[in-house]
Each structure stands twice: as C-alpha cells, then as structure tokens.
Chain A
Amino acid sequence: MISVDEFVSLLRDELALPVTAEDLGRALDAVDSWDSVHLLALCTILERETGRTLPFAEVLEAPSLAAVYRLATAS
C-alpha cells in the first residue's frame, strides 16, 4: 500500500512528470506530458512498489491518475 503523497512523489521522481496532487483527478489527456509509455512505466513501478499485479484491461479504461492509484491500492 502506498499513500497518495508517495504516489505523487513516484510520478515526479521516477517518471519525471511535473504533477501535483491536484492533477490526479484530471483526465489523462489533460496531464502535461502524459502518454502511453508513461502508463506502462507507472504500472511497472506500481507493481514493484505494491507487489501486486495490476489488471491491465481496467488500467486501460482508467480516466485519471487517481483511478490508476485506486486500481493499484484497491483491496
């Protein structure tokens, strides 16, 4: 389990995305620099950090970074 703050740090430090907590709810299209390669890198990091497998079909449908976070931390 990682916190929202840790999630934001990870986006900033490992993916070099200039985001803040306020950006998590934005549509992914509206997130500065975001693209499909970031999606892959993010999922890979989240699997490493949480030790859980992410459901890729659902990740593809995720409308925002917050939604990806929820998928990664859902119990």
Chain B
Amino acid sequence: MPGRDVHILSAASSLPGSPVGNAALARRFGMDALWEQWVDVFIGTRSRHLALDLESGKVTTSLADLAADAGGKALAAAGAAPGEVDAVVLGTATPDRLMPATVNIVADRLGIDQVRSFQLQSGCSGAVQALDVARQLLLAGEARTVLVLGGDVIARFYDVTRDLRSAAPAELVNYVLFGDAAGAAVVANRPGPGSATVRALFTRLVGLGRAPGAVLEWFGPADRDSDRPAATEDYKAIEQHVPVMTEEVLRELLDGLGWKDGDVDLVLPPQLSGRMTRLITDRLALPEAREISCVDEAGNCGNAIVFLQLERALAELAAGGRAVGVSIESSKWIKAGFALEGDGR
C-alpha cells in the first residue's frame, strides 16, 4: 500500500574547491577596493565555490562529479543502498552536456540502474520541482525510495580574460552572485532517524506574458562566435518581484496547512544574494523562525541551493518542529515552496 506521507530522509551537498572571496575575485578581474566595497554593500555575498581554476580559467569539476558526490553522501546518510533507489531525478540549468543527460551519468557513477530517471531543465526552483516529481512517484506507489539531485556549474560562463571594468551592468552582477554546487536528498515513503515529513509542496509557473528575468544561452558550431552574452539577468525585475512572490508562497503554504506565523521554527528563504535574502527574511517577519541561509558563503548556486538549506534544516529540526522553504525562479518565473515537519530521531 502506498503511504500517505512522503519523508525526506537525508540531504547532502558538494561544493568544489575552497571558497573564493570577493578579494580574490577582484584581483583576478582587475577590480579594485571600490568594487569589493560595492559587493559588500549591495550584494552582501562574501564567498562562493567555483568549479574553475581562476588562474587558468579551466573548469575543474563537472556537475556529474558534484552531483555524484552529494548523492553518495545523501544515500549514506539515509542508510540506503544504491540498489534500493527506485528513481533518480535531477534538476539543473547547466547539464554537463545536452546528451547524455547528466542524471544518467550520475546514476552510473553511483551504481544505480534499471530505474526511472528524469532530468529537469530548471532554474532556482528546480530542487522543488525535482522533489515534486519524486513526491508524485511516491504518492502514486510507483517508488519507495527516490534520489533527488540538483546542481549547477556556472564556471564555464566565467571568462577570466574579461575586463569587468567594461562589462555591462547586467553581465557584471553574474560574476559575484553565483556559485557552483550540487545537492541531494533521499525521499521515501517511510520516515527514518532525523527525517522530515513533507506536509505541503508546490511549484507553479507564473510566467504568462512575463519577460524572462534571467537568461543562459548555449552555443553550437553555427553560432558559437555570436557576440550575444552567455548570461544576463534582469536584476531589477528580480529585485522587484521575488520578495513579493516569496511572501505569496509563504502565505499560501501557511494558509493551506492552517499554520500560524508563530508556528514556523525554521524558514528557508530564496538565496539571491546575502543582501537580498536578508531583506526578504525581514519582510517575512516570522516571529519564532530561525533563518536557514547559505548564500553568504556559497553564493546563489541555483538548483543546489534548496538542498544546501535542507541539509542544515534537517540537522536542526526537532520532532514536531516546522520548517517552511520558498524558492522563486526568475528565468520564466516559477513560484515554489514546501513545508516540513520533523519526524524525530
């Protein structure tokens, strides 16, 4: 019989190399003290991990490397063997290749075979979308244990020969906002030690008629010499819409569950930048909630972010403790959120 509840048994993360501070980025791109001060004041992200050797500009780590590492750790933490996994789902905006799908490379590395596998082309809310797919498989009784993965490697978008002093504003911010990482969670139809029950989870496309807030291009032989920028952000639209959407998602989750503001013990807000995340958390004004954020040290690492937050949240969530997470995707605008309750140890 399929269970009525879905449980997150474990979560884990994998970050490449040592943290790269703002000073190191400034040195590499010929920026000065003023630039560093600007990043401190207006971005508020102190460091990020990059799958890139900043000196040579060579990409050092693939998404498959990071996702396999995170997936292995999550399985170990859940006490689940690769053979117990019934499905694998990966969310990413930056697969290593268009084919084969990175999810299948990761499954191979982990010794997982003969199962359903899905890769979602997704932005910042991809982790919640991947969790949603896993949850539906579990609720339908089609799986007992699902490995959910998310991650991004934006290192290939770093042009270390670029003179940032002449970069357009919309391109400039990309060099400080983002970081590379992958994360994983084991989701199952049964609780385990330290797990959390998924009380609510939704993702919703709200992009009708809206211009994209973030664009990542890909190039092939016919257009690889194109001069259009590989990555751009409409940071003004993001600054305007994400705080509002975050509040809407929070309200929808709490109202749907009948939870009061004071019932929330942990809040996992969107991780745009250190400064934006602080503004959003202040706006939510949940009186008892401890904020679970990692953007200050890890940057905005796209599809990995929610897993990094979940890893910390599971460690802190007591039996009956309540956590709410919100994720907003600005590329074509998706609202996503989830609510968890601790199962106890």
Q: A35-B236, A48-B165, A56-B38 are in contact. Are A40 and B32 (CB under 8 A)?
A: no
B31 at the binding interface (Cβ < 8 Å): yes
Cβ of A15: which chain B residues have Cβ within 8 Å of it?
A: 169
**Which residue on B lies nearest to A36, using beta carbons?**
B42
Pairwise interchain contact A41-B32, C-beta atoms closer than 8 A: no
Pairwise interchain contact B173-A37, C-beta atoms closer than 8 A: yes
Pairwise interchain contact A38-B38, C-beta atoms closer than 8 A: no
Chain B, interface SS category: helix
Pairwise interchain contact A38-B34, C-beta atoms closer than 8 A: no
Cβ of B200: which chain A residues have Cβ within 8 Å of it?
A: none
Cβ of B164: which chain A residues have Cβ within 8 Å of it?
A: 44
A50 at the binding interface (Cβ < 8 Å): no
Cβ of A16: which chain B residues have Cβ within 8 Å of it?
A: 168
A30 at the binding interface (Cβ < 8 Å): no
Which residues of chain A in 6-62 are interfacial with respect to chain B, using CB atoms and an 8 Å cutoff? 14-16, 35-41, 43-45, 47-48, 53-54, 56, 59-60
Which residues of chain B in 21-41 are interfacial with respect to chain A, using CB atoms and an 8 Å cutoff? 31-35, 37-38, 41
Pairwise interchain contact A53-B42, C-beta atoms closer than 8 A: no
Cβ of B32: which chain A residues have Cβ within 8 Å of it?
A: 47, 53
Pairwise interchain contact A47-B42, C-beta atoms closer than 8 A: no
B-side interface residues, number (CB < 8 Å):
19
Q: How far is the CA of A38 from the CA of B170 in the complex (A)?
A: 10
Cβ of B38: which chain A residues have Cβ within 8 Å of it?
A: 36, 39-40, 43, 56
B235 at the binding interface (Cβ < 8 Å): yes
Q: How far is the CA of A38 from the CA of B172 in the complex (A)?
A: 10
Pairwise interchain contact A47-B169, C-beta atoms closer than 8 A: no
Cβ of A39: which chain B residues have Cβ within 8 Å of it?
A: 38
Q: How far is the CA of A40 from the CA of B166 in the complex (A)?
A: 11
Cβ of A40: which chain B residues have Cβ within 8 Å of it?
A: 34-35, 38, 42, 169, 172
Measured between C-beta atoms, what is the minimum distance from B317 to chain A in Å? 36
Q: How far is the CA of A59 from the CA of B168 in the complex (A)?
A: 20
Pairwise interchain contact A53-B33, C-beta atoms closer than 8 A: yes
Q: How far is the CA of A16 from the CA of B169 in the complex (A)?
A: 10
Q: How far is the CA of A41 from the CA of B34 in the complex (A)?
A: 11
Cβ of B235: which chain A residues have Cβ within 8 Å of it?
A: 35, 37
Pairwise interchain contact A56-B37, C-beta atoms closer than 8 A: yes
Pairwise interchain contact A47-B236, C-beta atoms closer than 8 A: no
Pairwise interchain contact B172-A41, C-beta atoms closer than 8 A: yes
Q: How far is the CA of A14 from the CA of B31 in the complex (A)?
A: 17
Cβ of B41: which chain A residues have Cβ within 8 Å of it?
A: 36, 60
Q: A45-B165, A60-B41 are in contact. Are A37 and B172 (CB under 8 A)?
A: yes
Pairwise interchain contact B37-A38, C-beta atoms closer than 8 A: no
Q: How far is the CA of A69 from the CA of B326 in the complex (A)?
A: 42
Q: How far is the CA of A35 from the CA of B33 in the complex (A)?
A: 20
Q: How far is the CA of A41 from the CA of B42 in the complex (A)?
A: 13
Identify which of B31, B166, B169 contacts A38 (C-beta below 8 A).
Answer: B169
Q: A15-B169, A37-B169 are in contact. Are A44 and B42 (CB under 8 A)?
A: no
Cβ of B165: which chain A residues have Cβ within 8 Å of it?
A: 44-45, 48
Q: How far is the CA of A53 from the CA of B172 in the complex (A)?
A: 20
Pairwise interchain contact B34-A47, C-beta atoms closer than 8 A: yes
Binary CB contact string for chain B from 139 to 167 against chain A (1 if under 8 A, 0 otherwise): 00000000000000000000000001110
Could you write out 12 A-B pairs with CB less than 8 Å apart?
A15-B169, A36-B42, A37-B172, A40-B42, A41-B168, A44-B31, A44-B34, A44-B35, A44-B164, A47-B32, A47-B34, A56-B33
Known: A41-B172, A44-B165. 7 other contacts (CB 8 A): A16-B168, A36-B38, A36-B41, A37-B235, A40-B35, A40-B38, A53-B34
Of all A-B residue pairs in the complex, the 7 with the closest CB atoms, nearest first, are: A37-B169, A36-B42, A56-B37, A40-B38, A44-B165, A56-B34, A41-B169
